[in-house]
Amino acid sequence: MKILQRVKLILLGVFLIIFVGLLYKKNLKVAYYKFKDLVILKEMIFINKKVYKDQLKKYDCLPKLIKEIPIDSTIIIGHAYGRANFRRFSDSISPYVDKFIMSNKNKIQTIFFTGDVFSVPSNKKWQELYKRYKKDIEIFMIPGNHDVGNDNDNSQRNIFNIEVGKNQSTDFPFMVSKSGFNIILDDSTAENSLFDNNTEFLDDIKKENKKFLILRHHILIKELEDNSGNTPRYYEKNLIDKKFKSFENVIFISGNGSHKKNYNRISCFKHDKYLHILNGIGEVKNDNILILNNHNIYRYELNKF
């Protein structure tokens, strides 16, 4: 009899939680994400360090690791909304990324977000992001498929063009110079990339002498696909060489990686004079972000939570 009473009390408790949650959907949503944060936090604390070290051993082309963020740094962050599927309806970027930015905002001069800033973007989310960071840090956005959709005519791209367009050009590709690098912002969605056209753009800038970084969301080459999200198109290495053969020191950085727990935290591939780096945020301890400072590129492990 006591067992039956306990079952009834448990069922009553579950019913009350669901009922209250339906009345206060926002509170239920907050509780839901707090529960997911507990899951992620556990995984960040109990990361298998050997597995991570084995991942790094696969690559001999990774940037040098640094433990502190230098003053006047440029930061490159991919997949800022965090682990795929965990924050589908989150109102902001990953709280672990936010904490890193706010803790280091006196050292960060510029941030490049290399796509998938939000899982489901909205005007309000873009506005709140700029409101939170722009007063202290210069912000640049490179579009990902979550940010602008998979074609050139949809509400996500319209929202991106309106809100991001208030703060930077949305006419990709374009170039800015930061931390000793010429940085090309490329749109890898919907065949908008400089690899699909824009030959004149490259002709105009190849006389520049600085190191070149090409920032995009999707990877260019198939060799990095095991640690990347869906990629609309891969490019042959001879096409890459054809476009950049007159350039020196070219590095391609993609932000559509590491956003699943089983992906490597950072990966790279080198062919000829070209280096490809793939990273992103998966809310796993030792997520790697990239740091530019004084003509150098570094990596930094995001492990303070």
Q: Helix or strand or coil: residue 75? A: strand
Using alpha carbons, select from 118, 130, 117, 52 the residue that is nearest to residue 78: 117
Per-residue pLDDT at 153: 84
Count of CB atoms situated within 10 Å of the CB of 167: 15
Q: CA 260 to CA 268: how far, in whole Å?
A: 17
The continuous run of DSSP H or E covering 279 comes out as: strand 274-279
Our measurement of the distance from residue 113's CA atom to the centroid of its chain's CA atoms, rounded to an integer in Å, reads 6
Give the length of the chain. Answer: 305
Top pLDDT among 27 and 222 is at 222
**Tokens standing for 48?**
């298998």
pLDDT at 25 over 70: no
Per-residue pLDDT at 117: 97
Using alpha carbons, select from 284, 288, 286 the residue that is nearest to residue 254: 288
Q: CA 28 to CA 31: how far, in whole Å?
A: 5
Are the C-beta atoms of residues 287 and 78 closer than 8 Å to each other? no
Our measurement of the distance from residue 13's CA atom to the centroid of its chain's CA atoms, rounded to an integer in Å, reads 40
Are the C-beta atoms of residues 300 and 69 closer than 8 Å to each other? yes
Mean local confidence (pLDDT), 283-297: 94
Count of CB atoms situated within 10 Å of the CB of 84: 19
Mean local confidence (pLDDT), 118-129: 96
- 180 burial (CB, 10 Å; 0-12 / 13-18 / 19+) is middle
Q: CA 111 to CA 75: how far, in whole Å?
A: 5
> Is the peptide bond between 173 and the residue preceding it cis, with omega within 30 degrees of 0?
yes
Per-residue pLDDT at 24: 45
Top pLDDT among 34 and 178 is at 178
**Tokens standing for 272?**
């000829």
**pLDDT tens across 90-113, in order?**
788 998 899 999 999 999 999 999
Per-residue pLDDT at 88: 75
Are the C-beta atoms of residues 116 and 145 closer than 8 Å to each other? yes
Count of CB atoms situated within 10 Å of the CB of 106: 9
Q: If you search the block for the tokens 């890459």, which residue do you land on? A: 240
pLDDT at 2 over 70: no
Q: CA 89 to CA 294: how far, in whole Å?
A: 38
Query: What string of DSSP letters covers 8-37?
Result: HHHHHHHHHHHHHHHHTHHHHHHHHHHHHH
**pLDDT tens across 233-281, in order?**
999 999 999 999 888 889 999 999 999 888 999 999 999 999 999 999 9
pLDDT at 55 over 70: yes
Question: How large is the angle between the packed helices 25-45 and 2-23, nearest 10 degrees?
Answer: 110
**Options 3.60.21.10, 3.90.1150.10, 3.40.50.800, 3.40.50.300; CATH of 48-302:** 3.60.21.10
Model confidence at 37, pLDDT cuts 50, 70, 90, reads low
**pLDDT tens across 197-221, in order?**
766 888 888 777 778 999 999 999 9
Range with the poorest average pLDDT among 7-16, 79-88, 138-147, 206-215: 7-16
Q: Helix or strand or coil: residue 286? A: coil
Residue 285's region, left for phi above 0, alpha for psi from -120 to 50, else beta, is beta
